[in-house]
Amino acid sequence: MSGSLLKNEPLAKYTSWRVGGPADQMYLPENKQDLIDFLATLPKHENIFWLGLGSNLLVRDGGVKGTVINTRGRLKVMQLIDSTKVYVEAGVACPHVARFCTDLGLSGAEFLAGIPGTIGGALKMNAGAFGGETWNIVDRLEMVNSNGHVTNRGTDQFEVAYRTVKGIKNEWFLSVILTLKKGETQISQQKIKTLLEQRSLTQPTNKPTCGSVFKNPPGDYAARLIESCNLKGYALGGACVSKKHANFIENTGQATAADIEKLIEHIQQQVKQLHDINLHTEVCRVGESL
């Protein structure tokens, strides 16, 4: 193996909320082939968790048992493979994908500029922003299983819905081919600029958050429901509902994962009590509680 294997590695420094206990072990692959080779060495029933930019993720204070694969700054190859198709490895940050496609004069990926995660994470949850969704531009996918076996799959082999993707168990995204449209670089650049300005105005982009915490219920907005319960600015421990956007929870400096999880549950209870609506989390919760 040419990558790095870290033991008992604290995960708080890898998550955008800046909370989370340690991983039993974390592997930082040198490249895609190195990752494939490493997976083939793991015990048959090893618990494997993939970590990208650490957004849309709550790692509990007891940490993660098993092996964490860290793709941040790795699995970063992007290339044009024909006039409208772009190959992207799972560790590439979504904003980089947006800029790369724009520079090539391709349109359709601009919305990715507003997603603070990797393309692997965006594929896992069908991430979206400003009216765009990841799987609307997916052509084919390269998957790897826990034995290091690689398979190419079409979109018809996945169940894709709002912020939800179901594929084959114990397979993970290695890379994707995106299908885009011919566009004009200047127009796409202006669109990205406008999207980012809107995001900065409406979201607490300079605070430790995970992005949107809850999925929007059908025909409504999670932020509106939370705000109607007078929860903007409400805090539990070091976790606080953002005053700028109610569907964001900020770490005010000393939050634990337990603080954040308790606040999530309190918000759900209040919205259920006032509106009889069950808010479902968009954020992925993993690991052990203390």
Strands 48-51 and 64-70: parallel
What are the extents of the domains in the chain? 4-70, 78-202, 222-286
281 beta partners:
214
Domain covering 4-70, topology: 3.30.43
Which tokens go with 76?
């970063």
The answer to whether residue 203 scores a pLDDT higher than 90 is yes
Residues with a catalytic annotation lie at: 163, 212, 282
The torsion region of residue 184 among left (phi > 0), alpha (psi -120 to 50) and beta comes to beta
pLDDT in tens, 31-73: 999 999 999 999 988 999 999 999 999 999 999 999 999 999 8
pLDDT in tens, 138-162: 999 999 998 999 999 999 999 999 9
Closest CA to 159 of 150, 151, 167: 167
pTM: 0.92
CATH class for domain 222-286? alpha beta
Supply the pLDDT for residue 130: 84
Query: Using CA atoms in the order 171, 264, 267, 238, what is the torsion angle rounded to 10 degrees?
Result: -150
CATH of 78-202, one of 3.90.550.10, 1.10.10.10, 3.90.1300.10, 3.30.465.10: 3.30.465.10
